[in-house]
Chains A and B, each alone.
Chain A
Amino acid sequence: MKKYIILVVSILFTGLTFAQDIENNIKKDTTSLDEIIVVGRRKLSNYRQNKIVSSIDDFLENSNKITMIKRGNYAWEASINNMNSNRLSITIDGMQIFGACTDKMDPITSYVDVSNLEKVSVGSGQEGTENGHCLGGGIDLQLPQSTFYDSGLKTNIDLGYESNGNYKTTGLDIEYSNTKFYLNADGIYRKSDNYKAGENKEILYSQFEKYNISLQSGFKLNEHESIDANVIYDKATDIGYPALPMDVSLAEALITSITHNYTNDSTFIKSLVTKVYFNTITHIMDDSKRPDVPIRMDMPGWSDTYGFYSKASVRANKHDVTFNINGYYNRSLAEMTMYPNDSNQPAMFMYTWPDVRTLYTGVYAKDSYSLNTHETLSTSLRFGFHKNRIAKETGLESLQIFYPEISDSKSRLLTSFSSNYEIKKNALDITLGLGYGERAPTVSEGYGFFLFNSFDNYDYIGNPTLRNEKAVEANFKTNYHFKKFHIGIESSYFHIMDYIIGEIDATLSPMTIGANGVQVYTALNSATIFDVYLNSSYQFSKTFSVNGTVGYNYGKGSNNEPLPLIKPFSYLAEINYSTPRFNAAIQLEGNGNQSKYSSFYGEDETPQYAILNLNFGNIFYIKEHKVVLKYGIENLLDTYYSTYADWNNIPRQGRNMYINLSYLIP
């Protein structure tokens, strides 16, 4: 929304601010439910993040809305409002893209790198439906905008080293632009060995290696129109997943798009952006490095998506309206071949995703209406048609073993609706929101065939007959600024109907050797999720500030069992010192005891933990060249810990010393 001034939220912690210059911005628009995380390295304030060459995952984790579920040191899965990626809409610049791994080893955030992106837009609950249907929220990883700046050639070199895991990062970014044309090429390479948890315990199979290159170019056709083309190629190899029984030998993505931009302040339509895109993902699981497995297997998966969107924004009277028409076609196929230990027996084969084709077309509209200078009412609406079809006869017949009556296709209509009222008066602002949303089951939930979940040690069977999952949502947010003191409360409540979750079917025999049994995706009548965060900050002086956040989350199903992966009581406190050329911060971060863990869904109790982080930043110039140096120590006390979001309780990194260097040649 153009009217909204982009809210730059601290990368470091909680959405609070501490530096004077940014604080003014924040005060203008603290009520926007959208959270923007700036990741584009050229655009950042270098004081706002502790690492320049952080992975996307690190960036997202530092947002207070997002928790990352970890299966290893790579490719973490985002969760918002205690809802994992099944209930989120995650897009790359509005483009739909779907991971190719049946076991969620490749959330799509793993296929882009900070070098590709400018910012990440996070919408909580129904605020996240601009690009697709969701319940928990939406994350849009946004590509850089066209930059016809006439700034000539710019080069930027980034280097990073972390002691824990001997983690090396190298990035190179070359940018050329004049008034008619620009070209931006960048590449980044990352390699890490096994990391060490606290107390110097090596975590086997936690290594990874990846590189990412991207090319973006644009031509200005005339004063109002331009065309951009963007290609991202991302390839990761030798990725270990210590929490899972298998690793990944290849995760490869090609993401392409062409965009037409039209902007004109004097016409009715102020801007019109049309994009066509294609992306393809290949994901190959591999267990050849594991010395001891019950059976050797290959599990490749593929996901191809074709799509388009057209987004218009209109401003008339006191209305600010956005329209978005989008559509995509996805093909998800995954298979499994197992090699029996008795070599006389033939290999065993099955389709774990039976070539599921998904066709979606939808429309979205959002209107922000300024009632007066203090009050705004925004309403958004999304309608969509969603159709799944099983393209492989063998795949359909496989699922008919469990559901003899199903046909090869299933169509759904999806509706999302939300309304927000916000009022700002002097030091106080309040936002109230209501929403209703629906989502279709994911490919795994609908069509998965013996997908092993190492979290609860069950094989999962998809259910093509699932109904849409629906949520009614209410949210509340308020901020109060009193001189140098700030306090805010943010809370969301979700009542979810037909909550999709696995249910043990004792009559079924597991496929995976050693599994406890089989769960079939089914729906609870309802589930309730509630979260509340309280944050506050105090600015002692121009250079000194403190801030803190505490959070409480709650989730329960209609079967009276706690939901899995609900964040326990969490807290974060930070002391900052910053001057224009130097900053330092000390951070205390922790969770309480996970007392409401869900043993019913295979969780165990994660004990409380607290860690200390220390980070510093310097900025200096060598002639015209700008050098940014970031360094610090994470987990200073080398605490051995894991959080509720760590798959199978794999411990997190122990003490880690890092240094990042960014060298900009203008």
Chain B
Amino acid sequence: MKFKYILPILFIAILVTSCSSDNDDDIIINEIEGLIKVQDLSNSTHTIELYNATGTFKTGYNAISIRIKDNTSNSYMENATVSWNPIMQMPTMQHSCPKSTITKASGKDTVYEGFIVYQMANLDGSGWSLTVNYSINGVEYTTTDTITVMQNAKQNVTSFMGTDGSRYIISLVEPKTPKIAINNMTVGLYKMETMMSFPVVENYKITLDPRMPGMGNHSSPNNTDLTFKAEDAMYHGNLSLTMTGYWVLNLKLLNTQNEVLKGEDITTEIAQSSLYLEIEF
């Protein structure tokens, strides 16, 4: 009697396990999971696919993933060497912006990664173009197209002239999703050497004083100044946010001699530093 019931269960069990083992062989790991395509850049041989988390470029720090598709075989290149150059076309001149080198994403075969810090945007998102240069098996290729970069709602990047006469760019990288806690804060600091060269500035110091203008310039404790870390060539510090809402991250940039290049301390008279970033959550 009992066997009568056990038998079908047994069959189902065998069926299920056999099915799933079949599937295992066919599974393709989706290397762009969680990413949204921003745009394709094409030439006659390849299509360059640009991805990020939101599917749009905005001013500030943009982490970008790239895949290179062979137009004939529809397969993705795994052995390319890639570089890029974003250009902003202004009425009288053109300039680039801070950008990283492009490396293969760790643990992935077809995805390459890097970041670009767009320091400005036109209201309609026009003006920027992106050139991607890549070589596969010793053959050089290139492609260029216009891209759309929209203005971010809050100031997450700022470009300014220091008292040393140099132009700098500070860009907020972390926290991406701020929370009521001590957040790890990361910013990139770049010097505008020429219109096309934006090297990382090393070993300066950025002081941090987060404030809520909507709450009588309320501040928070246990923030730390941002210091340079060579591993990722960024500046790191602790950012305490005591509540959700709109925060102004007042900054001061100090060079290696501890001379203030930009920014002021917050006092009863000075409600906001001339060097600041914004967060809203």
Contact = CB atoms under 8 A, between A and B. Distances in A.
Interface string A342-378: 1001111111000000000000000000000000000
A622 interface: no
B216 A394 contact: no
B55 to A, nearest CB: 23
Nearest to A509: B219
Nearest to A402: B221
A456 interface: no
Contact of B215 (A295, A351, A394, A508): A295
Contacts of A401: 180-182, 220-222, 240-242
Summarize A's interface: helix, strand, loop or mixed: loop
A398 B181 contact: yes
Contacts of B220: 401, 509
B179 interface: yes
Nearest to B212: A348
Contacts of A341: 214
Given A394-B179, A394-B180, A397-B180, A402 B222 contact: yes
Interface string B206-220: 000000111111111
A514 B246 contact: no
B122 interface: no
Interface string B244-271: 1110000000000000000000000000
B136 interface: no
Contacts of B222: 401-402, 404
Given A349-B245, A350-B242, A295 B179 contact: no
Nearest to B183: A397
Contact of B244 (A346, A402, A404, A509): A346
Contacts of B216: 294, 510, 513-514
Interface string B148-184: 0000000000000000000000000000000111100
Nearest to B266: A509
A480 B243 CA distance: 61
A340 B214 contact: yes
Contacts of A397: 179-182
Interface in A276-323: 294-295
Given A350-B244, A404-B222, A338 B181 contact: no
B280 interface: yes
A511 B242 contact: yes
A450 interface: yes
A125 B235 CA distance: 57
A543 interface: no
B214 A342 contact: yes
A73 B245 CA distance: 35
A350 B243 contact: yes
A345 B219 contact: no
A340 B245 contact: yes
B214 A295 contact: yes
Nearest to A514: B216
A397 B222 CA distance: 13
Given A294-B216, A295-B215, A401-B221, A348 B181 contact: no
Contacts of A510: 216, 218
Contacts of B212: 348
B223 to A, nearest CB: 9
A401 B241 CA distance: 8
A400 interface: yes
A507 interface: yes
Nearest to A339: B214
A508 to B, nearest CB: 5
Contacts of A347: 244-245
A350 B246 CA distance: 13
Given A345-B214, A511-B215, A511-B218, A400 B245 contact: no
B259 to A, nearest CB: 26
Contact of A507 (B182, B221, B244): B221
B214 A348 contact: yes
Nearest to B223: A401
A341 to B, nearest CB: 7
Contacts of B245: 338, 340, 345-349
Contacts of A402: 221-222
Contacts of B240: 401
B215 A513 contact: yes
Interface in A507-562: 507-511, 513-514
Interface string A401-412: 110100000000
A480 B242 CA distance: 60
Contacts of B280: 345-346
A185 to B, nearest CB: 46
Nearest to B222: A401
Contact of A398 (B180, B213, B215, B218): B180
Nearest to A513: B216
A355 to B, nearest CB: 13
Contacts of A511: 215, 218, 242-243
B243 A349 contact: yes
Interface in A393-425: 394, 397-398, 400-402, 404
A519 to B, nearest CB: 13
A397 B220 CA distance: 13
Find the residue from A295, A338, A342, A450 having the highest chain B CB count within 10 A: A338
A436 to B, nearest CB: 37
A348 B221 contact: no
B179 to A, nearest CB: 6
Interface in A560-606: none
Contacts of B241: 401
A89 to B, nearest CB: 33
Nearest to A397: B181
A348 B219 CA distance: 14
A450 B218 CA distance: 11
A400 B217 CA distance: 21
Nearest to A336: B243
Nearest to A352: B243
A513 B213 CA distance: 11
B218 to A, nearest CB: 5
Contact of A349 (B181, B182, B244): B244
A398 B214 contact: no
A338 B215 contact: yes
B242 A450 contact: yes
Contacts of A338: 214-215, 243, 245
Contacts of B221: 401-402, 507-509
B276 to A, nearest CB: 15
Nearest to A348: B245
A340 B245 CA distance: 9
A338 B212 CA distance: 12
A449 B246 CA distance: 19
Nearest to A294: B216
Interface in B221-236: 221-222
Interface string B60-74: 000000000000000
Contacts of B281: 346
A341 B215 CA distance: 9
A511 B214 CA distance: 10
Contacts of B181: 394, 397-398, 400-401
Contacts of A295: 214-215
A214 B202 CA distance: 72
Interface of B: 179-182, 212-222, 240-246, 280-281
6 contacts: A340-B245, A348-B246, A350-B244, A397-B182, A398-B180, A398-B181
Interface of A: 294-295, 336, 338, 340-342, 345-351, 394, 397-398, 400-402, 404, 449-450, 507-511, 513-514
In the complex, the 7 A-B pairs of residues with the closest C-beta atoms, listed nearest first: A397-B181, A348-B245, A340-B214, A509-B219, A350-B243, A513-B216, A345-B246
Given A401-B181, A511-B242, 19 more contacts: A295-B215, A342-B213, A345-B245, A346-B245, A346-B246, A346-B280, A346-B281, A347-B244, A347-B245, A349-B180, A350-B180, A350-B242, A394-B179, A397-B179, A401-B221, A401-B222, A402-B221, A513-B215, A513-B216
